[in-house]
Amino acid sequence: MTQACAHSGPDENRRMFDRIARRYDLLNAVLSLGMDRRWRRRAVQELAPHPGCTVLDVGCGTADMMIEILRQCPQARVTGIDVAQAMLALAARKLARAGLEKHTDLLRADATATGLPTGAFDGLVTAFCLRNIADRPMALGEFHRLLADGGKLVILDLTRPKNPLLRFGHRLYNHGFVPLVGRALGHHGAYRYLVDSIDRFIAPETVLAMLAQAGFADARSRPLSGGIVTLFCAHKET
């Protein structure tokens, strides 16, 4: 649940995600109690890719979101970017096993300065990545630049429930079970970071305000699974 992308100390971030890449998918499934697949499926449904469209997955990790996009729309063209080379290597193998390499491109790139052409994508999705980016306004500005007029942005990220009881249980889970699993698998530091990044993440209302400031229209949010995850949607005006 922590796609590799740039945050403060990008070199350290890349090394961390490279270290956990081999067990990344297993840990995602265990720590999300298997809900991560449903969250990605819902995000792609919101993105609504259509045949012939071009989609960018920022912080693509091991390509689970890319695969879900092509499962829902086999005629799409999907580019995935990430800063962690080990994640990209795993992504390439998974895409090849699924027979999807001809429909995809993988690039090592930073979310805040991708170097990709302006207006090149009809849709942009980023999952479990935004909270890891130090300069979020810069990243959102880059997302806006990359989208074609009328293009859609979908952001999926871990958040904190608003309900007091859910929030209490969520905190117990994050500060008890998650670090325990990380320690058992030899990745305590990485999953301590995961918990800290959720605790520090800005409120959904702040994300919506930042989207508006970046030039996006009709920004809205939808809590999933009681608010432990939030789906943000917006589009670039024509």
Rounded to the nearest angstrom, the gap between the alpha carbon of residue 60 and the centroid of all alpha carbons in its chain is 7
State residue 19's pLDDT score: 61
Would you say residue 191 lies in a domain?
yes
- The CATH number that applies at residue 75 is 3.40.50.150
Percent of the chain with pLDDT over 70: 82
Distance CA 92, CA 162 (A): 38
Would you say residue 115 lies in a domain?
yes
Q: Which tokens go with 99?
A: 């027979």
Query: Worst-scoring range by mean pLDDT, 20-24, 131-135, 195-199, 226-230?
Result: 20-24
Would you say residue 1 lies in a domain?
no
Would you say residue 5 lies in a domain?
no
Would you say residue 26 lies in a domain?
yes
Would you say residue 78 lies in a domain?
yes
Tens digit of each residue's pLDDT (9 = 90 or more) over 27-47: 666 667 778 999 999 999 999
Q: Coil, helix or strand for 234?
A: strand
State residue 22's pLDDT score: 64
Q: Once rounded to an integer, what is the mean pLDDT over residues 14-18?
A: 58
Residue 172: pLDDT band (50, 70, 90) is confident
Pairing of strands 147-158, 229-236: antiparallel
Q: Once rounded to an integer, what is the mean pLDDT over residues 61-82?
A: 97
- Which strands, in side-by-side order, build the sheet including 229-236? 104-108, 77-82, 54-58, 121-127, 147-158, 229-236, 216-224
Number of compact structural domains in the chain: 1
State residue 49's pLDDT score: 98
Is the overall model pTM greater than 0.85, yes or no? yes
Tens digit of each residue's pLDDT (9 = 90 or more) over 93-126: 999 999 999 999 999 999 999 999 999 999 999 9
What is the average pLDDT score of the chain? 87
Would you say residue 97 lies in a domain?
yes
Strand partners, 233: 154, 220
Q: Once rounded to an integer, what is the mean pLDDT over residues 194-222?
A: 93
Tens digit of each residue's pLDDT (9 = 90 or more) over 143-155: 999 999 999 999 9
State residue 7's pLDDT score: 43
176: Cβ–Cβ under 8 A, 6 or more apart, which residues? Answer: none
Better pLDDT: 83 or 69: 69
Distance CA 48, CA 100 (A): 19
Would you say residue 24 lies in a domain?
yes
| Residue-number span of the structural domain to which 92 is assigned | 10-236
